[in-house]
Amino acid sequence: MDPFKQLTSILDMRISEGAGNAISGIPSELGTITATGLVLDSFKHEVQDYLVAEWFVKAHFPSVEISGQVTGLLDGQGKAVTGKAKFAFESFEVEDLRLELKAGLKPGDRVLAVPINGGNDAIVIGKVVKS
């Protein structure tokens, strides 16, 4: 066998194993939010002091036109303006928009969590739903 092909084959195998080990080194699992904590699918005891990830993102909003009913507006003479209207919004960006996951979690929600400290603690990184 060609030694260069053999070396290439060994390197390819080792790189594939290394990538797999890197990903498998971060265990994550499903869990359920309860009224007083979090129950991981593989751990029968409730984790009451769990952590929840917060995400900071840059949000991009496209330009959009919205039609709707107008009430509560006043014209130049202080008279009420009512009726249908079209509102046009230009595209814009918001820096450092904070996504607060914890505020939206409720008992029964399924979540993806990373167990830490031997499974005694966990970090909830997202809510999961069936599509």
Whether the CB-CB separation of 127 and 111 falls below 8 Å is answered with yes
CB 81 within 8 A of CB 74: yes
User: Is 63 a member of any domain?
Assistant: yes
pLDDT for 1 equals 56
User: pTM here?
Assistant: 0.61
- Strand-pairing partners, residue 63, are none
pLDDT (0 to 100) of residue 2 = 62
Which stretches in the chain have pLDDT values below 70?
A: 1-26, 119
Is residue 62 included in any domain, yes or no? yes
* DSSP conformation class of 42: T
Number of domains within the chain = 1
Q: Is residue 47 part of a domain?
A: no
Task: Please work out, in degrees rounded to the nearest 5, the angle formed at the alpha carbon of residue 19 by the alpha carbons of 56 and 2.
Answer: 150
Residue 84 lies in a domain: yes
Residue 65 lies in a domain: yes
Q: Is residue 11 part of a domain?
A: no
Calculate the CA 93 to chain-centre distance.
Answer: 19
Domain span holding position 85: 56-98
pLDDT in tens, 9-22: 666 666 555 544 44
Assigned domain for 72 exists:
yes
Report yes or no on 5 lying in a domain: no
